[in-house]
Chain A
C-alpha cells in the first residue's frame, strides 16, 4: 500500500512543475499535445531490431526537461515506478529469438537481445514523453487542448472532475487502509472479504460525497452543463514548435543519424 500512497502524492507533484514562465510553458497546449503524438508515432514506427537509430529521439525529452525546468530526478524515479508489464513480456525475447545479428568482439548479439533493448528504449522514450506533456503543460491545460481538438465535452468535464477528486479519494483510501493495517499487524493485505467491505465503505462515502457535490452545484445554478472559460491562443511560435520537431522526427526516421555520427567519429579517429 506504500506504492499507492506514493502514487497519490506523486499525482499532486507532477503538474506542479507546469508553469507559464518557462519557454515550454508558453507553448500552446495543443501544440505540445500534437507534438507528443507525433513523437510517439515516430518512436513506435521503428522496427523491432532497431535500437541505436532510436537514440537521437532522446533529444526531445531532454530538451523538454531543460526548457521546462522539470526536475529530471523525479522523472527518472517515476519511470522506475511504472508497472513492469513491458519489461516482463520483453524479457522473453532474448530467450526465444536467437536470430544472429552481429558481434561486438567476443559478444554475439541475437535478435532477441536487440528487440529487448529496443522495447526498453521505446518504453523509456514514450513514457517520458507522456509524463513530460503533463509536467510541462499541466493537466488542466491538456484538458483545454483536448476540448478544443474536438474531444466530447462530457469526457473533458469527466477528466477534470475525476482529477479534482483524485486527491480526496486517495487520501480517504489511505486513511481506511491505514486503519486496517493498524488493527491487523500480522497481515500485509486484507483478505477478499475484508477488501469487499473496506471498498464498500469507501464506495458508500464516495456516493454520499457525489450527492453533496451535486447539492453544492445546483445551489449555484448548475443546469447540467459545466461552463469553463479557457482562452488558448495559437501563435507563430506554436506552429514553429510543431513543425520543427516533426521535421526532426522525420529526419531521425529517414536517416540513421547514429550511424552517420558513428562513422564520422571513427573515421576521424582511425
Chain B
C-alpha cells in the first residue's frame, strides 16, 4: 500500500527521506565495494520486471479480492539486500514520477515501507535462516510466505504509524491498524506463495540463473554482515529521533478533540530542540504538522467571512487559469513556427 503525499506531514516526510537516503547511500557503497559488471543490466531489467509484474492481479482465495506482487522479497532472493533495495528505490521513484503512486513527498516513506523491510529485514532475518542453502520446494515456499508476511506487516504498520504521526487523517490509531494489518496478512501469504512459485519455476528451468546452491554465485546470498548491521543501526537511530520528535508535538486528532471540548489536553514535553523548531515554525510555517488552530485557517466563522473566503478562492483559481491561458495565447502569437507536433 503506497503512502500518499496528501496524508504525510513535512516532518514525517523529511525523516523518512533522510532514512531512505542513508540506506540508499550505504547500499550503493556496498555494491561499489563488491563490483560485478553483470549487475547493472540485471538490476535494471529486474526493476522493469517488478514494475510490469505488478500489473498482473491475481485472485486472493477466500476473499474475492485481488493482490499483486510487491517484489521486494523476490528481488532480495535474486540480488541480495543492497541491490534489491536500490531496485525498489528505482521502481518506487518511477511510480511516483509517472503515475503519482504515492507522490514525491511520500516517496521516502514508501521506499522505507516497501523497500527496506523486505530487503533488509524480512530477507536476511526470516527468509535466509529458514530456507538455508538448498531449500526443497516446500521449505522455500514456507520461508517465502513467512518472510513476505513479516515484510508486509512491518510495511503496513509503518504506513499506519506515518499517517498517524502526520496527523492529517482522523482515523484513530487502533481502527486504522485493524483496517490494515489483517488485509496485509492475506496479501503477504499470497505474495509469498507467488514469489516462491516464480523462483521455483526459474530454478527448475535454468538452475544456472538462480543463485541457490551455487557457491560461486556472485550476485546474491552474501552474508549481510557489516552493511546490514550499519543499515539497521542507522535506521534504529533515525526511528528513535523521529519518534522523539513526533512525541514532542501534539497530534492533530488529539488537538482537534481537545479544541472541540475546550478542555486542556496533554501538553507536549518542552525541549530546547522542540522550542527551537516551534519558533522556526511560527516564523516560516514550513514545519507545520497540521496542528494550528482551525479558526485561523478557515475563514472567520461568520457567514459573511466564509462567503468572502469562497469568493476569494474562486477568484484566485480563475485568475491562475486566466494567467495560464494568457501565457499560452501570448506564446502562440509570438512563435511564428507552428506548434510542435507530437509524434
Interface residue count on the B side (C-beta < 8 Å): 131
A20 and B317 CA atoms in complex are apart in Å by 28
CB of A12 to closest CB in B, whole Å: 10
Q: Are A195 and B194 CB-contacts (below 8 A) given A90-B6, A130-B97? A: yes
With beta carbons under 8 angstroms apart, the residue of A4, A19, A208, A214 that contacts B38 is A214
B52 at the interface (CB under 8 A from A): yes
In the bound complex, do residue A191 and residue B40 qualify as a contact, i.e. CB atoms below 8 Å apart? no
A143 and B22 CA atoms in complex are apart in Å by 19
In the bound complex, do residue B41 and residue A197 qualify as a contact, i.e. CB atoms below 8 Å apart? no
A269 and B96 CA atoms in complex are apart in Å by 44
Which residues of A lie under 8 Å from residue B86 when comparing CB positions?
Answer: 154-155, 158
In the bound complex, do residue A102 and residue B96 qualify as a contact, i.e. CB atoms below 8 Å apart? no
In the bound complex, do residue A158 and residue B43 qualify as a contact, i.e. CB atoms below 8 Å apart? yes
Instruction: Bits for A6-21, please: 1 = Cβ < 8 Å to B, else 0.
Output: 0110110010110101
A208 and B216 CA atoms in complex are apart in Å by 19
16 A-B Cβ contacts within 8 A? A11-B94, A47-B297, A66-B328, A99-B294, A102-B306, A114-B294, A126-B104, A162-B43, A162-B94, A174-B55, A189-B66, A196-B193, A196-B194, A207-B209, A250-B284, A261-B319
A162 and B301 CA atoms in complex are apart in Å by 52
Which residues of A lie under 8 Å from residue B32 when comparing CB positions?
Answer: 154
In chain B, positions 1-53 with a C-beta closer than 8 Å to chain A are 1-10, 13, 24-25, 28-29, 31-32, 35-38, 40-49, 51-53
In the bound complex, do residue B55 and residue A7 qualify as a contact, i.e. CB atoms below 8 Å apart? yes
In the bound complex, do residue B37 and residue A199 qualify as a contact, i.e. CB atoms below 8 Å apart? no
Which residues of B lie under 8 Å from residue A109 when comparing CB positions?
Answer: 298, 306
Instruction: Bits for A26-49, please: 1 = Cβ < 8 Å to B, else 0.
Output: 000000000011001111111111
B224 at the interface (CB under 8 A from A): no
- Residue of A whose beta carbon sits closest to that of B10: A44
In the bound complex, do residue A46 and residue B288 qualify as a contact, i.e. CB atoms below 8 Å apart? yes
A147 at the interface (CB under 8 A from B): no
In the bound complex, do residue B45 and residue A189 qualify as a contact, i.e. CB atoms below 8 Å apart? no
Q: Are A262 and B298 CB-contacts (below 8 A) given A16-B342, A45-B286, A196-B198? A: no
Question: Interface stretch among B126-134, B162-170, B239-247, B271-279?
Answer: B162-170
A55 at the interface (CB under 8 A from B): yes
In the bound complex, do residue B41 and residue A217 qualify as a contact, i.e. CB atoms below 8 Å apart? yes
In chain B, positions 265-292 with a C-beta closer than 8 Å to chain A are 284-288, 290-292
In the bound complex, do residue B98 and residue A131 qualify as a contact, i.e. CB atoms below 8 Å apart? yes
Interface residue count on the A side (C-beta < 8 Å): 144
Which residues of B lie under 8 Å from residue A11 when comparing CB positions?
Answer: 94, 98
In the bound complex, do residue B306 and residue A103 qualify as a contact, i.e. CB atoms below 8 Å apart? yes
Which residues of A lie under 8 Å from residue B54 when comparing CB positions?
Answer: 4
B173 at the interface (CB under 8 A from A): no
A201 and B7 CA atoms in complex are apart in Å by 38
A159 at the interface (CB under 8 A from B): yes
Q: Are A7 and B99 CB-contacts (below 8 A) given A47-B291, A99-B260? A: yes
Q: Which secondary structure characterizes the binding site on chain B?
A: helix
6 tightest Cβ-Cβ pairs between the two chains A and B: A196-B197, A262-B312, A161-B44, A200-B201, A4-B55, A162-B47
With beta carbons under 8 angstroms apart, the residue of A10, A14, A203 that contacts B198 is A203
Total A-B contacts with CB atoms under 8 angstroms apart:
439
A200 and B74 CA atoms in complex are apart in Å by 11
A16 and B67 CA atoms in complex are apart in Å by 31
Q: Which secondary structure characterizes the binding site on chain A?
A: helix
Which residues of A lie under 8 Å from residue B28 when comparing CB positions?
Answer: 152-155
Which of A43, A142, A158, A165 counts the most chain B CB atoms within 10 A?
A158
Q: Are A21 and B315 CB-contacts (below 8 A) given A65-B324, A192-B58? A: no
19 further A-B contacts with Cβ under 8 Å, apart from A102-B299, A192-B193, A195-B58, are A21-B340, A47-B288, A56-B316, A63-B320, A89-B4, A89-B176, A93-B171, A120-B6, A158-B86, A161-B43, A191-B58, A192-B61, A199-B69, A203-B74, A214-B38, A259-B299, A261-B316, A265-B308, A265-B312
Instruction: Bits for A162-205, please: 1 = Cβ < 8 Å to B, else 0.
Output: 11111011101110010000000000011111111111111110
A210 at the interface (CB under 8 A from B): yes
A174 and B53 CA atoms in complex are apart in Å by 10
Which residues of A lie under 8 Å from residue B91 when comparing CB positions?
Answer: 162
With beta carbons under 8 angstroms apart, the residue of B78, B284, B301, B340 that contacts A101 is B301
Which residues of B lie under 8 Å from residue A123 when comparing CB positions?
Answer: 4-6, 103
Q: Are A62 and B301 CB-contacts (below 8 A) given A14-B98, A56-B316, A217-B41? A: no
